[in-house]
Amino acid sequence: MVVRFSFLNNFRWRRMADRRGPRRLIVADIGDAEVRVIVAERKAGETFFSLPSIIPHHGASTVFENPDFLSAVEKLIGATPYISVVVGGSDTMIRLMVLPGAPGTPAHVSHRVRQTLGVSDDYDVVHQVLDQTSDQHTVLTAAMPKAMVDDLDDALTKRGFTPVSLIHTGTALANLSLLGGETFDRDGNTAILHTDIMSSTLSVRVNKQNVLIRQLKQGLRPVFTSITESYGLDEEMAVKLFNSGSFDISNQTVAAMSSWFHQIEMSLDFVARRMGGRVEKLFLSGSSLGLNVLRENFSSALGCPVDIIPPLPHLSCPSLPGRLAEGQNPVTPYLIAASEGARIMRLSGGDK
Amino acid sequence: MTGYNLNFWEEPDWSREGTLNPFFTLFAIAAVLTVLGLGWVNAGQRQLQKKVEALEMLSMENKALIKQAEEASSLKIQVAKWREAVDVYDELALKNYVWSSQLETIQSLVPDAIVIKNLYLYTTRAGDTMDSTNTYPLPAWTALLTLEGVATGPTPYQTINDFFDSLQGHEFLSRIMVANLASTAIAEGEDKRFKIDLSYTLR
């Protein structure tokens, strides 16, 4: 039986926070097939990243039942109890919306955002007004099922962590676009597509501003399904075949990705019409699964340069794991987690 | 620009996380004060214990002294009793004092020309005297022996004087009668009456 004394809740043998925020923070980017974990540390006003690890798992809802994940994060709790989680998925939403009129009170904005998203009270909705005029206001909003928000909080609290932030993958992607703005803007108007198994997230940057952040229902699942059905393989073998790039399976993958391509084209066209600027380069980020293969497919389908997101000087990581796919940019999988770590550290005085 | 802050969780209160919980601080201060208090009480108790032990030692020494005093007191009482007993004994001894040798000696010294008419003997308490070891006081008794008689013959004065001198110069009598021998002889007529007081201390 564990007896807890409330006055000891704030007791730390080593204090990993000051009055401005955490000095050390674990960030877990929970994807559909893997969790990417990194530790952000604030030292003398600068942010450093270390201890990156990728833990395979299946399904965001069961991540805290995955012994590999639990073992990995429980090792890290010795480094710091503070943890941030980045999570997306098909039952979550991210939207950059322009609403008519002045925003009014936060409650009023929240009500209008809920109406626009069409979510029930079972969802937690957060929003931030980015820009406003007398005629309209721009709001970035994200929604997650209440149960998911509470379950993640409970699971972490039970294991002795102090939850710091839970943000949507799309929010982290938008923050990544802001952080790496100078790097991306060298190529003009750019977009970042964060890929995952069940869904993907698109962030478009035009004229040095984020103008679209959207979650797409399409991901890598149809590709793996197509390979599985075409070659009679199980899913694990299909993923390996896709990642290796050793076989020409473009017929199956391109066909399976057509809906995905179409959604992205529609989004880019929308931006071009509304903002008057076409996207000149698409960057791919996210899962460690076959980004090189995706790059080729997207490049030929969209007719614009496609590249894997480059390492950002702000988010360099001194120690890197060795279990990445061949040709994979070793920093790429952690950029989403690193962008959230950098955001929290900036709020608490880290310069990067 | 610090980025988009669309956090579904409430961030921890960093001012609280970055500092000690006031309840914990109070608890820690209370614990430290308790430890110090207990230490102080313990030190006080140790000092008290030392004092108690010292008092016990003194008490034991006192008990020994009291015992000695009681013994001394008991001895004193015994001595007083003994003294009383000695007094009683002395009185008894005085009552039973044997005068025969003195009287016999005196009788042997009485010349034919002297007739002893009366002989009186008084004994009185004359304070204390120390014993032979000079430790304990003993009662001293003085005896006054008065001889009244008549001297006859041709030279009664001479007879009385000679008798007086013989009493004073006698070895045995002078040893016990010391120098208290005094004469108030009165001589009138042919038969001269006289009175001689012999004073001596009885031991």
Judged by CB atoms closer than 8 Å, whether chains meet at B6 and A171 is answered as: yes
DSSP conformational letter for A105? S
Question: What residues of chain A have any CB closer than 8 angstroms to a CB in chain B?
Answer: 6-11, 15, 17-22, 82, 124, 126-128, 130, 140-142, 144, 149, 153, 162-168, 171, 174-175, 178-179, 339, 342-343, 346-348
Mean pLDDT computed over every residue of chain A:
83
- A194 vs B130, residue with greater confidence: A194
**Closest-approach residue (CA) in chain B for A128:** B6
Closest Cα in chain B, distance from residue A228 (Å)? 37
Query: A-chain residues within 8 Å CB-CB of B14?
Result: 17-22, 348
pLDDT at res. A133 = 85
User: Does B9 contact A at CB distance below 8 Å?
Assistant: yes
pLDDT at res. B57 = 93
Q: How far apart are CA B92 and CA B94, in angstroms?
A: 5
Specify the pTM.
0.66
Which of A185-194, B43-52, B70-79, B121-130 comes out lowest in average pLDDT?
Answer: B121-130
pLDDT at res. B186 = 55
Residue A69 contacts residue A35 (beta carbons within 8 Å): yes
Which of A147-156, A301-310, A340-349, B63-72 comes out lowest in average pLDDT?
Answer: A340-349
ipTM entry: 0.87
Closest C-alpha among A304, A315, A319 to residue A341: A315
Closest C-alpha among A271, A96, A264 to residue B6: A96
Query: A-chain residues within 8 Å CB-CB of B8?
Result: 124, 126, 142, 144, 149, 165-167
Query: A-chain residues within 8 Å CB-CB of B30?
Result: none
Q: Express each pLDDT in A28-73 by its tens digit.
A: 999 888 888 888 888 887 888 888 888 887 665 677 777 887 787 7
- Considering only CB atoms, B8 lies closest to which of A8, A124, A179, namely A124
Judged by CB atoms closer than 8 Å, whether chains meet at B2 and A346 is answered as: yes
- Considering only CB atoms, B6 lies closest to which of A10, A18, A168, namely A168
Mean pLDDT computed over every residue of chain B:
80
Query: A-chain residues within 8 Å CB-CB of B19?
Result: 19
Q: Express each pLDDT in B158-184 by its tens digit.
A: 888 888 888 878 877 766 654 344 455
DSSP characters over A48-80: EEEEEEEEE-S-GGGGGG-HHHHHHHHHHTTT-
pLDDT at res. A181 = 84
